[in-house]
Amino acid sequence: MMAYSEEIAERVRKALGDVADVREISMFGGRCFMVNGKMFVCAGNHELLCRIGRKNHEEAFAKEGTRPMVNNGRIMRGFLFVDEQTIETEDAFNYWIELCRKYNRTFE
């Protein structure tokens, strides 16, 4: 069974309420939201995994409350974990959602 914060997941659902093509799946140990067939964000237990793209990685990673996604000892550039304290306010949460939204649109 995968553990994730239902509160974070519900905030993501609300933020994506205007998007037509959203699917939820269990992935990366949380509840992932796919937009237009591509991974958008994942609600984890105490964090949000954001897919922001390589171009935004360094600037976003410099922000407090982030950590890289690591797979087999390798940093997955373009993916960052953001802890729940960092996304506590709506403005902060929306900042990360918008970064993900902008990157997701590059596929259209």
Q: Where residue 29 sits, what CATH number does that domain have?
A: 3.90.1150.30
Helix axes 90-105, 6-15, angle to 10 degrees: 60
15 is a domain residue: yes
Tokens of 52: 């922001």
Model confidence at 25, in pLDDT bands (50, 70, 90)? very high
96 is a domain residue: yes
Rounded to 5 degrees, φ, ψ at 69 are -85, 130
1 is a domain residue: no
Rounded to 5 degrees, φ, ψ at 43 are -85, 120
Burial of 82 (0-12, 13-18, 19+ CB in 10 A): buried
The dihedral built from the CA positions of residue 48, 49, 53 and 55, taken in this order, carries a sign that is positive
Residue 62, amino acid = A
What is the count of structural domains for the chain?
1
63 is a domain residue: yes
Mean pLDDT, to the nearest integer, of 32-57? Answer: 95
Model confidence at 2, in pLDDT bands (50, 70, 90)? low
For the chain, the average pLDDT equals 93
pLDDT in tens, 59-90: 999 999 999 999 999 999 999 999 999 999 99
> Is the whole-model pTM more than 0.85?
yes
Of the candidates 47, 51, 40, the one whose C-alpha atom is nearest the C-alpha of residue 13 is 40
Domain range enclosing 50:
6-105
